[in-house]
Structure 1
Amino acid sequence: MSTPFTKTPGWLDWYQNPSEPAFALPPGTVDTHCHVFGPGAEFPYAPERKYTPCDASKDQLFALRDHLGISRNVIVQATCHGADNSAMADAVKASGGRARGIATVRPDVTDAELAVLDEAGVRGVRFNFLKRLVNSAPKDDLAVIARKIAPLGWHIVIYFESQDLAELEGFFGSLPTPLVVDHMGRPDVTQSVDGPEFGRFLRFVERHDVWVKVSCPERLSVSGPPALDGEREAYTDVVPFARRVVEEFHDSVLWGTDWPHPNLTDHMPDDGLLVSYVPHVAVTSELQQKLLVDNPMRLYWPGEWV
């Protein structure tokens, strides 16, 4: 995975030999949150990036897709590429119709540029509010972008910390498109699932046109990955939060791997175990079908959803 760039110190490379999942994904499963990084020699990383990753190419992503039994991907523009969507769009176009894209654009993006992205398979843009990943997220600029993409029928993916929702909720509610929330709004899983912070998030989802990704337990967990001796299962402290979202909003939940798992420094998850985690949060075959197939197909491939 060599590149002309120097990887950020402490960066963990993605898991090279994922296990065979103990849970068989239903046919048509969509991974709605994954990325490609470069390769940097072909698709250089942005000068303003906050981190320099290892390479993670479209071919490697598609190999993981096939290994895990996933049918389709939604490839989210990585912040290390800034607003140059070339690597993401290239991967979407190379998928043979089996991928969609989420772009990052600037307020001065033209209608012609948006049309090119739409033709490539892009179906939304991402607004990132994590200060460790972006310098700023000026709401006026983001509102301009939202008005430009609304006629295309795109949606907006929002990434924020749970404690910031009170400040951001009014802005989110003003946006003229459907919203997709990354990683359940990053709840603090040391708090109660019945507590006020997560309750605010649930009420936000209930009041607005919102889809929720029950993704990234490895990023939210305090209890961590499974114990080597088998005495502890993976990410058990995240399960009550994800299960609550799946059960309350079963028609608007989505799932994703977050491969290649950017900005993790304590451990790198085995993607096979992330698949095996699914039945802990979607406990019936009906809920699994909605989470993994029906909902993402309705959002990203509506012409093919039955």
Structure 2
Amino acid sequence: MTAAADGLAVPNSAGTAPPASRPAPPDACDAHFHVLDPRFPSPDAWRPEGMTLADYGRLQTRIGTRRGVLVQAKYHRTDPACLLDALARMGGDGRGIAVVHPNVTDAELRRLHAGGVRGLRFSLWNPADTVTTIEMIAPLGPRIADLGWHVQLHLSAAQILDHAGLIARLPCSVVIDHMGRLPPRQGPDHPAFAAIARLVEGGRTWVKLSGAYLNTEDGPPDYADATRIARSFVRLAPERLVWGSDWPHVTEAHKPDDAVLFDLLSDWAGSGAARDRILVDNPATLYGFI
């Protein structure tokens, strides 16, 4: 999808207007979204609605992105069937981040790679619903390094500080989810920002400019506290940032406006060139888009 649409309603997204900022550049990438598809089994009794790949396609049309990075949802646990099905339908415009346990076979990792997977996610921020553990990261790091994959970490600021040594020792690249989940009032003054900065300066760590609503007490439309955090990362290393919508915003009872979230990036980036780098060049490098 390349052209934003006027008045397009998207499931699990507030508003219908296209972004107010200038249109997305060709090959713009949404580097963080989820698909929850009830066609595929899940142990959850809850059935998701409006969260399929077809629903996400409406969001692409609305905001103007073409490429996307599908992050396996906790709803599907470690079963990659939904992930691989969606990636096959996205063709060369999709890449995937899977969730596995250390007992995964090498043959399965190769199968996932052939299907478009380029990383493993460890979402540990909320210990009440995590599918993985911190102890699983070190055994898997060397195995995915040989594939050119990265570890994607959704950790709290405190967890980043606690495990900074482990993260620094990983032999693969690392992606920090949702701007490091820094406490909004402290933002870049929190010591976890300096820890992330050291990792980024080491040359193998990236940060996702995503989840403004996860990093705010001020809220929309400006998300002023999250904006302060995002701008600090832009000043730190614009060449190590990617942007993601986090659609369908499964943590939120009241869904954000994805056009507003997309517009925030123009404000955060500070220039059109920096914005386009974050939307196109950086994800092409990180995820291997051709």
Decide which of 58, 65, 69 is 2:64's aligned counterpart. Answer: 69
How many residues are matched?
278
Per-residue deviation, 1:206: 2.2
Measure the CA separation in 2 of the matches of 1:17 and 1:223.
20
Deviation >3 Å, runs of 4+:
51-55, 194-197
1:43 equivalent in alignment to 2:40? yes
1:177 equivalent in alignment to 2:172? yes
1:297 match: 284
2:6 match: none
Q: What is the CA RMSD across the aligned residues, in angstroms?
A: 1.9
- Specify the code of the residue in structure 1 equivalent to 2:17: S
Per-residue deviation, 1:53: 4.2
1:236 match: 224
Decide which of 12, 15, 31 is 2:13's aligned counterpart. Answer: 15
Q: Sort the Cα spacing of 1:215 and 1:195 in 2 relative to 1 into closer, same or farther, 3 A.
A: same
TM-score if structure 2 supplies the norm length? 0.90
Conserved? CA contact 1:155–1:178, under 8 Å: yes
1:81 match: 76
Matches within 5 A, 1:192-203: 192-203=187-198
Unaligned runs of 5+ in 1: 1-12, 227-233
2:210 match: 215
Query: Which SS does the other structure have where 1:75 is aligned?
Result: strand
Per-residue deviation, 1:260: 0.3
Query: Which SS does the other structure have where 2:68 is aligned?
Result: strand
Conserved? CA contact 1:18–1:271, under 8 Å: no
Measure the CA separation in 1 of the matches of 2:57 and 2:97.
17
Q: Sort the Cα spacing of 1:137 and 1:161 in 2 relative to 1 into closer, same or farther, 3 A.
A: same
2:249 match: 261
Measure the CA separation in 2 of the matches of 1:18 and 1:193.
33
Measure the CA separation in 2 of the matches of 1:200 and 1:259.
28
1:8 match: none
2:162 match: 167
Per-residue deviation, 1:207: 3.3
1:191 match: 186
Measure the CA separation in 1 of the matches of 2:160 and 2:78.
25
Unaligned runs of 5+ in 2: 1-10
Decide which of 244, 256, 269 is 1:282's aligned counterpart. Answer: 269
1:29 match: 28
Per-residue deviation, 1:55: 4.5
Measure the CA separation in 2 of the matches of 1:214 and 1:192.
14
Decide which of 139, 145, 162 is 1:150's aligned counterpart. Answer: 145
Measure the CA separation in 2 of the matches of 1:145 and 1:90.
24
Measure the CA separation in 1 of the matches of 2:189 and 2:137.
32
Conserved? CA contact 1:52–1:80, under 8 Å: no
Conserved? CA contact 1:19–1:270, under 8 Å: no
- Specify the code of the residue in structure 1 equivalent to 2:249: H
Measure the CA separation in 1 of the matches of 2:147 and 2:26.
29
**Bigger share in helix:** 2
Q: Matched residues, percent identical?
A: 35
